[in-house]
Amino acid sequence: MTPGRAQRHRPTLVLLGLMVVSLAGLLLVPPIPQDQTYHHFADQRTLLGVPNFWNVVSNLPFIAVGAVGLWQFHRDPAIVVIFLGIFLTGFGSSYYHWNPTDGTLFWDRLPMTLCFMAILAVMIEERVSARAGAVLLWPLLAVGVLSLLLWRWTDDLRLYAWVQFFPCLALPVLFLLVPPKYTGTSYWIIAAGFYALAKLLELYDRAVHSAGAILSGHTLKHLAAAAACFAVLRYFQTRRPIAAEMSRQALGEHKTWENNSR
More confident residue, 23 or 187: 187
| Residue (of 150, 126, 151) closest to 137 by Cα position | 126
Q: Do 94 and 56 touch, CB atoms closer than 8 A?
A: yes
Give residue 130's pLDDT band: very low, low, confident or very high (50, 70, 90): confident
Q: What is the pLDDT of residues 17-76, one digit of tens each?
A: 888 898 889 889 999 999 999 999 999 999 999 999 999 999 999 999 999 999 999 889
- What per-residue confidence (pLDDT) applies to 260? 54
Side chain identity at residue 8, one-letter code: R
Beta bridge partners of 241: 182
pLDDT band at 1 (very low <50, low <70, confident <90, very high): very low
Question: For residue range 71-121, what is the model confidence (pLDDT) as tens digits?
Answer: 999 889 999 999 999 999 999 999 999 999 999 999 999 999 999 999 999
The pLDDT value given to residue 15: 82
Kindly tell me the burial class for residue 256, based on how many C-beta atoms sit within 10 Å of its own C-beta (0-12, 13-18, 19 or more): exposed
pLDDT value of residue 182: 93
- Is the Cα torsion angle 58, 74, 237, 169 positive or negative in sign? positive
Nearest Cα to Cα of residue 183 among 128, 126, 130, 135: 126
182 in Cβ contact with 239 (< 8 Å): yes
pLDDT, tens digit, 9 for 90 and up, residues 205-249: 999 998 876 899 999 999 999 999 999 999 999 999 987 544 454
Reported pTM? 0.88
**Number of other CB atoms surrounding residue 227 within 10 Å:** 18
User: Mean pLDDT score of the chain, rounded to an integer?
Assistant: 89
pLDDT reading at 252 higher than 90: no
* pLDDT reported for residue 127: 87
H/E stretch holding 188: helix 185-203
Concatenating the DSSP letter of every residue in 7-18 gives HHHHHHHHHHHH
Q: How many CB atoms lie within 10 A of CB 89?
A: 28
